Amino acid sequence: MAGFSRLMGLDEVGTARILREHRSVTDALLAMHGGRIVKTTGDGLLVEFPSVVDAVECAVAVQAVMAERNESVPQDRRMLFRILDPTLTLLLSE
């Protein structure tokens, strides 16, 4: 998540609460697309999908729902999720 440390510094309790709320929505999207959470960190996830198509469709869905959830939030308080496709990274490096 972009800016997580900064947001935690501004309001640790509120940031943690909002992240949990976002995760309840995004975790449901992961499940809908066959995603399995392999590892979590404070502000990150490692997720496995049955296919690249499922992973990309989930990424698009997560970004769309986060854009909606952030619409009414001041720009400096928005939670912006970064999504990396390691398959793409692997293909580009070969």
Spatial contact of 55 and 90, defined as CB atoms under 8 Å apart: no
- List the one residue out of 73, 88, 84, 76 whose CA is nearest residue 7: 76
Question: What is the chain's pLDDT, residue by residue, as a tens digit (94 residues)?
Answer: 888 999 999 999 999 999 999 999 999 999 999 999 999 987 888 898 998 889 989 999 999 999 999 999 999 999 999 887 666 555 544 4
Spatial contact of 35 and 48, defined as CB atoms under 8 Å apart: yes
**pTM as predicted:** 0.83
CATH topology of domain 4-85: Alpha-Beta Plaits (3.30.70)
- List the one residue out of 37, 61, 59, 34 whose CA is nearest residue 47: 37
pLDDT attached to residue 83: 86
pLDDT attached to residue 62: 94
What is the domain partition of the chain in residue ranges? 4-85
Alpha carbons 76 and 30: distance in angstroms, whole number: 26
